[in-house]
């Protein structure tokens, strides 16, 4: 169901605003006006963050439609003239500034240009610098119009001359023509250090001339000589419409209820997830979103060791979101959510079709054939999909939440786009990467994602267990050595974390509620089950291990604090490390029967393949959140048979 702008406008006017609804365009513009009028922080402020300040949890959970809940905006601004970062809180009810605090010693995420320059003008300004022109001429490049500069975070390696400055590394490529794949021809050895506050070149770092790779790497349809001719159409139709209903940002589907949210840093946020069980609405998850992600590279040459991008905290994946297209990004009967974003001046705008929601058939839900009576019962599985895609430089990431009829949830990331490319001289075979084309190397790297899960399994008082499958010792009870059982370990304090996956123990973790029992007398719980995962191959004292400590373990847990939102801290850009999870957990808070937040980290080890070039087929990775004793029996027994339910005798394939 693609909802027209007219329908969306009509619906939004009729629905009372919920305390968790993202800021509207009007609210963003109003909040910015209040800051500009009342904060007295300068005339050229750059707005890095403008988002809803989410109310206290108890206000949200007890909210009734006629309740008053304060509506506030949280804002981060930068004064580029003095480099100061300020956090502000604005009341949208009273149209006034509530708080303003200077945050010393930090850098906000990337903001390009100033009030007079957009990014394209900023790019041209950098390329017109005499030092850049000289470095390009040295490489035989006389037309800078075809030079492509991607600004990358500079990391923090303790360089004194960089302290206190808001910097980026301009990494360079050369297009053959205006619309081809620039990443096919890296300009190796040239790093342009950019002072973002001054919108000018700070320093040129030249590690030596390397010949430009000779081949194009074009993948767009206009460059393909022919296409496959044996594909037949697949039509996905729902003649009666989808099974979900949407009221504002609230979604109801089958027995699920949830709210769709969005922030410029995290992107898609899922709020207040509940499941109806025999007429009772049971809470599972208060808030779920990507907390942080980082992509550390594994090549030590020139300045490639500085490649360790926090795409959420240093860039803002919500700001880089795509407007999705029917039949391409999403297929079927689609409902789109628009989002309100803003430019560096704080001017708000609506970005269309950012979040996509639809239903998918997902094979068999459950099945059994009773051959003795010649009867087969089978149910088709259906899942609700809520997703968005974002482009961060060369890479694309799709973030997907799946909700299933049996009470299960999955979180999945889809990785695609173009591998980061560098160049080597002819005849050189790199040790720390793969030659994907002549003289083009894609370096070994890893992608790490940390998802913050504010759990509320049948309520807010939860506890965390680690669950391993163990081999029972040989004994009188196990004389044949075939027995194995489950070992559950209660993790009672923050110092018990982080935990690591152990596939040989089939390890998973459960979040249990001791005050709520299933009909077998056990505490109800949901389990966090790993998917693909890995640990860093960086040495323990490497800079990235201090800056992204959340990579060093897979399962983390803290006691809830509304100000603890991001695994690497609020300001990872150019931060030396030690913030976020390791800082918060130093207090070693008790976690038994508490309001527990789970931070799950999963990583993809990317050793590039030839098949990843020139554009990478999607890689899928994630984890699951499954009921484990939460229900008294299979909650999907009441899923009706399909209209074309099999009626057969003997062997039956449905």
Specify whether 311 is catalytic: yes
What does the alpha-carbon distance between residue 432 and residue 430 come to, in Å, rounded to a whole number?
6
Written as six digits, the tokens of 265 are: 């840093």
What does the alpha-carbon distance between residue 244 and residue 18 come to, in Å, rounded to a whole number?
19
On the 0-12 / 13-18 / 19+ scale of CB atoms within 10 A, 539 is exposed
Residue 295's nearest CA partner among 390, 419, 378, 180 is 419
Residue 309's nearest CA partner among 623, 106, 544 is 544
List residues bridging with 349 in a β-sheet.
341
Between the alpha carbon of residue 145 and those of residues 175, 270, 618, the distances in Å are 9, 43, 32
Residue 336's nearest CA partner among 356, 358, 360 is 356
Contact 88, 35 (CB under 8 A): yes
Contact 305, 297 (CB under 8 A): yes
What does the alpha-carbon distance between residue 503 and residue 516 come to, in Å, rounded to a whole number?
30
Residue linked to tokens 């990337």: 110
Residue 215's nearest CA partner among 444, 443, 442, 436 is 436
Q: How many CB atoms lie within 10 A of CB 563?
A: 6
Contact 335, 606 (CB under 8 A): no
Q: Using omega within 30 degrees of 0 as the cis cutoff, is the peptide bond preceding 614 cis?
A: yes
Helix orientation angle between 119-127 and 130-138, rounded to the nearest 10 degrees:
70
Contact 103, 115 (CB under 8 A): no
Annotated catalytic residue: which of 311, 406, 454, 612?
Answer: 311
Per-state percent for the chain, helix, strand, coil, to nearest 5: 15, 40, 45
Side-chain-side CA neighbours of residue 283 (13 Å) = 19
Annotated catalytic residue: which of 286, 395, 397, 508?
Answer: 395
DSSP string, 40-94: -S-SS-EEEEEEEEPPPHHHHHT--TT-----EEEEEEEETTTTEEEEEEEETTT
Contact 170, 151 (CB under 8 A): yes
The residues assigned a catalytic role are 311, 395
């Amino acid at each position: 169901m693609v909802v027209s702008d007219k329908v969306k406008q009509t619906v939004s006017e009729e629905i009372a605003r919920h305390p968790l609804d993202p800021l509207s365009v009007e609210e963003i513009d109003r909040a910015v006006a209040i800051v500009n009028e009342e904060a007295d922080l300068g005339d050229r402020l750059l707005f890095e963050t403008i988002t809803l300040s989410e109310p206290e949890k108890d206000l949200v959970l007890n909210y009734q439609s006629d309740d008053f809940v304060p509506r506030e905006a949280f804002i981060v601004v930068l004064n580029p003239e003095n480099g100061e970062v300020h956090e502000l809180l604005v009341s949208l009810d009273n149209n006034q500034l509530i708080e303003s605090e200077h945050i010393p010693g930090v850098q906000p995420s990337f903001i390009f240009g100033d009030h007079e320059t957009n990014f394209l003008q900023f790019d041209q300004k950098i390329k017109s610098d005499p030092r850049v022109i000289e470095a390009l001429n040295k490489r035989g490049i006389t037309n800078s119009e075809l030079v492509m500069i991607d600004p990358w975070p500079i990391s923090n390696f303790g360089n004194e001359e960089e302290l206190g400055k808001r910097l980026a590394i301009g990494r360079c490529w050369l297009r053959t023509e205006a619309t081809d794949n620039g990443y096919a021809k890296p300009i190796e050895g040239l790093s342009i250090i950019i002072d973002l506050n001054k919108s000018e070149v700070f320093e040129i770092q030249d590690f030596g001339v390397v010949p430009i790779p000779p081949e194009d790497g074009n993948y767009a349809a206009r460059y393909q000589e022919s296409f496959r001719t044996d594909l037949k159409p697949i039509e996905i139709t729902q003649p009666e419409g989808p099974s979900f209903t949407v009221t504002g940002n609230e979604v109801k589907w089958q027995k699920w209820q949830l709210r769709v949210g969005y922030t410029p840093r995290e992107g898609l946020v899922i709020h207040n997830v509940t499941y109806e069980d025999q007429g009772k609405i049971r809470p599972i998850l208060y808030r779920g979103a990507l907390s942080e992600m980082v992509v550390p590279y594994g090549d030590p040459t020139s300045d490639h060791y500085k490649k360790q991008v926090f795409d959420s905290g240093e860039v803002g994946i919500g700001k880089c979101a795509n407007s999705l297209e029917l039949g391409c990004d999403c297929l079927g009967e689609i409902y789109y959510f628009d989002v309100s974003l803003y430019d560096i001046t704080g001017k708000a705008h609506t970005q269309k079709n950012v979040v996509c929601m639809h239903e998918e058939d997902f094979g068999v839900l459950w099945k059994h054939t009773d051959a003795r009576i010649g009867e087969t019962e089978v149910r088709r599985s259906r899942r609700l999909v809520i997703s968005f895609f974002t482009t961060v430089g060369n890479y694309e990431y799709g973030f997907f939440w799946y909700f299933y009829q049996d009470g299960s949830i999955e979180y999945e990331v889809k990785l695609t786009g173009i591998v980061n490319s560098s160049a080597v001289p002819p005849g050189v075979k790199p040790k720390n990467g793969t030659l994907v084309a002549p003289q083009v190397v894609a370096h070994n790297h890893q992608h790490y994602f940390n998802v913050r899960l504010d759990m509320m399994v049948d309520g807010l008082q939860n506890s965390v267990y680690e669950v391993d499958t163990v081999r029972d010792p040989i004994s009188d009870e196990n004389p044949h050595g075939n027995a194995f059982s489950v070992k559950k370990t209660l993790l009672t304090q923050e110092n018990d974390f982080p935990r690591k996956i152990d596939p040989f123990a089939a390890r998973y973790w459960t979040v249990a509620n001791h005050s709520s029992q299933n009909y077998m007398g056990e505490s109800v719980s949901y389990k966090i089950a790993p998917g693909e995962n890995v640990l860093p191959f960086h040495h323990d004292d490497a800079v990235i291990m201090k800056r992204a400590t959340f990579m060093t373990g897979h399962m983390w847990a803290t006691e809830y604090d509304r100000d603890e939102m991001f695994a690497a801290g609020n300001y990872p850009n150019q931060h030396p490390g030690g913030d976020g999870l390791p800082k918060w957990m130093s207090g070693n808070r008790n976690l038994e029967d508490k309001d527990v937040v789970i931070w799950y980290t999963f990583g993809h080890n990317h050793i590039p393949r030839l098949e990843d070039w020139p554009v990478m087929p999607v890689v899928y990775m994630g984890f699951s959140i499954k009921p484990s004793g939460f229900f008294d029996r299979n909650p999907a027994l009441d899923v009706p048979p399909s209209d074309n339910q099999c009626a057969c005798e003997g062997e039956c394939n449905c």
